[in-house]
Structure 1
Amino acid sequence: MKKEEKGIWVSWNENIQHEYDNLYKITTEKELQKVISESKKIRFFGNKQSSADIIAGVQSLVDIRDYNKIISYNDTEHLITVQSGIRLVDFIESIEAKGWCIPCLPDINTITLGGALATGTHGTSGLILASYVQKLRFVLADGTIKEVTEEDELMHALRLSIGVLGVFSEITFRCKENYTLHIKEEPQKDEVWMYNLKEKVQQYDFLRILWMPHTGKGYVITGDKIPEDTIIEENNGPSYLKYRRDVSKTLYKYTHIFPWFTAIANKTIALLFFNNKKEHKGSLYQATVTKSRGATLELAEWTIGIDLFPQVFKELKKEINKWDNNTFIHIPMDIRFIRKDKTWLSYAYDQDTVTVGCISRNSKTADSYEAFKTIERIFIKYGGRPHWGKRFKAKDKQLDKIYPKWNDFKTLRKELDPTNKFLNGYLKKIFNEK
């Protein structure tokens, strides 16, 4: 175990910074137990890619990125057990080599698995990633080990815990047989992709809409399962599409000063980069997961029951298209779909949901980005739920109204962590703790 003293923890976008007294880089479970048991206040981190202030801000920090081994496979039951610091890319590539998959993957592959589970990371057209966990081994606040399986009621709380119930040590996933998707992409007017949306969610094996605010269009990505040897005439679009991020960065550079220019930038970007039809095939991982991303984005994401989504979308669209306010939103707003589950703090607890992501490409000025405030106000009004690893302002009283198991979770948290060892300043406000 390596230890550093007195330093400053900095997030991936450099907009969250905290001093710390001790930083531990652990490689074994015993080291993890020792550090937790001997610390008064402690948090843990992987690749620092959360937009929420949930990771640092306490005396002791644990860097779990070197705690990243594959422990075992069970070929008969399609189980894999790994240490919690493994990166998603290494985890997915290892199960694909076995001919397995997780049927709902997030947009990026650079996050650590433990962090992904703790914040409810998800993809589209399936369950949240944590729903595929079969067994958890985790370290409690006193340093002892507890194991929970998918049959235990406690698993419904642990699967998404924001790291306040304990620290994941070893994680066992129940995987599925891998499959091939035929992916089609094309722009559609809002009235087209919104028509019979609930039926489309059931129709496609993969459905994602990159909505383009201020343009009246969405870029629709669908996927159907096909035999692996099916021949597809691939069309990856013109070669200049690879410059989208650079062009976006340039066009959005001064939109914090001139918010109205966002509408013009969006129309330009949509015309250049979201105006082509594309077609290809591959596994879910190969065909849909981004393999790289620079530290340029700040994100908020809200979910809403699928039956309420048309009403919320109509109000959101009306609000952001007013020219008498500063709510102009950068392209794209990522619209995805999650199936209902029983995880207490899941966005999809007891309801099929639509998730709507909101990005600011000016990370340094994201605190004054009016869109984050507007999207939260509208979604809260309809009982929407925030993504735990992204930006939101809601606290205990509001969260109690939108998460049915909120008070049960708070009670359990106090039982497992009576001294609030795992709470930083940000989390204290969320749970209304001193």
Structure 2
Amino acid sequence: MVFEDLGIMPAILEALKGEGYINPTPIQEKAIPILIKGKDLQGCAQTGTGKTAAFAIPILQRLSQNPLQKQGPKPIRTLILTPTRELAIQIGESFASYGKNVNINHTVIFGGVSQGAQVDALRRGVDIVIATPGRLIDLNNQGLVALNKIEIFVLDEADRMLDMGFVNDVKKIIKLIPKHRQSIFFSATMPDSITQLASSILTQPQYVEVTPVSSTAETIAQELYFVDMVNKRDLLLHILKDKELKSILVFTRTKHGADKVVKLLERESIKAAAIHGNKSQNARQKALNDFKDKKLRVLVATDIAARGIDIDELELVINYEIPNIPETYVHRIGRTGRAGQIGKAISFCDSDERIYMRDILKLTKINIPVANEHPFLPAEGNTDLSTAVKPKAKAPLPRENRPRNHAYGSTSKGGNGQRKRENSF
């Protein structure tokens, strides 16, 4: 099946084609036709399955095909709630990518930064608001956001919402939006608490589910390096001393982290570049082309920026930071060992990341060999994943109130001359 078979409008098809996407993922194939018709949907799908596009594409199409007739500032027509600022930003990037050929704009709202730019965007008028619950409620209490014209409501990663204690905030927000609306509900798991929440939001929903990716290719040799966080840089340089390694893809969780790794490598005269959502499309494409042409030895990427990348003869994937979503690990290391070739994947695991590594082993049902003879073994000498506990204050998983160095919040609209953001396909 191709996207043309799903009833998607030409302007969005053109944008998808420009991103190199021809065939929908299973969740997109199931969800898009339902959502284009305006029906409610309850979806069970994990990050990495393409669920963002599964709801972003129909939303863009429905808003484009049903424009408002009245003049003046645009009312908010779609509200998307997410548990973290990172996910909100990624979803915003997706709307920018898929909606570049339609006259629909959006803004991203979250806490931990000044609200000024976000309020300015709301006052100018936006079609779509992507928000974390806390900041949205704060702006509503100040009378700075109006939710009484919402036509489409999306609750994404509902299980994480509950885990992070946002359920009461979600219920407050639902009371602020019209009862007559299209509602879209996504969760990676469907325990009773999630099912009950879904039933309070949805009206006669269609249910779709996709099986998560859980297996890794047998052609990939995997290895786990336990290391203190402060020694990860030295461990990376130690591994890269092997001059036989010519093509290495390094994954970080954040854009800032990717840039820091590149600076480290450049100081050591190792040719490297980063690809992430803050880079222009031209810069990302140049870095990718240079890597494929062997002009770069190392490509450092975030998960979102790396999606859709196909690199032949990639020798090594390094998880500089362990992903907090187990399926993401499978997607990351799947970049190597393709087409029957032998590949290798190395993961650096500090004390706060052991809980993530344990979840990965549970998902993949494999035992990953541990490298016990490297110069940067952890100081306490503990390499037992069974003692892993959820990280506390300095957990690598960013939370809504964690200070950041960047401040998204400006209105984004597709069109010529605009910086193209990486999608969350």
TM-score, scaled to structure 2: 0.29
TM-score, scaled to structure 1: 0.29
Point out the structure with the larger helix share. 2
